[in-house]
């Protein structure tokens, strides 16, 4: 069955809450000195990761409640030399762990409340193309999960993958054309067939997802007869499109030259082409199986 995400906004926001709570639980369990641990993102420790999430929630909230102020802020930041993402995160990263946690918690709660009130059909301004409240909530969930994975990597633990990854996978599929454009490559004209094995994911709460036609076993996008195909693990696909793992280290198979190219450039986040991770970067890591 073709997986089309038509989630009710309230259900999607509940998934966003759950993803934030999962990361919050991990952060609460850390000793204070762990906030300075380096993560796989070059130059970013755990405090930087949380500070980035806090700043992005703050920017998202501004886009919802004061569009003119957000547009002015975005124009200022985008006019600066590259690196404004690092600079904005660096400010809050200097806070104490207690202050940073409060800032992030307060910001994500305020954003969640504001998104719930966005009028149907309204498009919210952003650094990339404008998006609906549902799309912004999906993007925040994706970033929370991806940066949470960096934090888990720094701690040597592995988050238990959940059915909430369907949102990350969906945005990964939807950003295919952007990835080609960002890499100055011709955008494929043919829809790709994506078949992901979700059988190993924690599907608790799946019935409340508001997603039509979701199977806990397989997630599918695109025409069945497409010559360009990607198949494999749902978790690995999400790790790929968020650039948390290199394609060579993942259980994914591409059929067709364009599909194979996509697996080397996929990215869910707006902005410049990301550096991703190196092949074999995590091969020596022996994490435990702690829940995030």
Q: Where exactly are the structural domains of the chain?
A: 12-118+127-136+151-155, 165-265
Q: Which CATH number is 12-118+127-136+151-155 given?
A: 1.20.120.450
Measured distance CA(238)–CA(165) in Å, rounded:
7
The rounded distance, in Å, linking the Cα atoms of 31 and 8 is 38
pLDDT for residue 129: 86
- The rounded mean pLDDT for the chain is 90
The pLDDT value given to residue 276? 87
Q: What is the pTM of this model?
A: 0.91
Grade residue 84 by pLDDT with cuts at 50, 70 and 90.
confident
pLDDT at 110 over 80: yes
């Amino acid at each position: 069955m073709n997986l089309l995400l038509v989630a009710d906004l309230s259900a999607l926001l509940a998934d966003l809450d759950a993803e934030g709570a999962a990361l919050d639980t991990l952060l609460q369990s850390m000793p204070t000195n762990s906030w300075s641990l380096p993560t796989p993102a070059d130059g970013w420790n755990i405090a930087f990761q949380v500070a980035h999430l806090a700043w992005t929630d703050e920017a998202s909230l501004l886009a919802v409640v004061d569009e003119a102020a957000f547009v002015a802020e975005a124009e200022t930041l985008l006019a600066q030399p590259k690196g404004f993402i690092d600079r904005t995160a660096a400010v809050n990263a200097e806070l104490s762990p207690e202050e940073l946690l409060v800032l992030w918690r307060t910001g994500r709660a305020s954003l969640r409340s504001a998104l719930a009130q966005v009028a149907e059909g309204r498009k919210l301004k952003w650094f990339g193309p404008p998006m609906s409240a549902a799309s912004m909530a999906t993007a925040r969930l994706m970033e929370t999960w991806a940066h949470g994975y960096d934090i888990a990597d720094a701690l040597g633990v592995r988050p238990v993958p959940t059915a909430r990854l369907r949102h990350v996978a969906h945005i990964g599929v939807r950003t295919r054309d952007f990835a080609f454009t960002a890499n100055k490559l011709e955008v494929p004209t043919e829809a790709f067939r994506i078949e992901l094995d979700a059988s190993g994911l924690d599907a608790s709460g799946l019935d409340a997802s508001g997603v039509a036609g979701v199977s806990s076993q397989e997630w599918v996008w695109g025409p069945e007869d497409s010559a360009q195909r990607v198949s494999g693990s749902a978790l690995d696909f999400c790790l790929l499109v968020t650039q948390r793992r290199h394609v060579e280290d993942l259980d994914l198979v591409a059929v067709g030259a364009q599909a194979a190219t996509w697996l080397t450039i996929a990215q869910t986040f707006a902005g410049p082409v990301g550096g991703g991770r190196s092949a074999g970067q995590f091969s020596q890591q022996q994490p435990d199986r702690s829940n995030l």
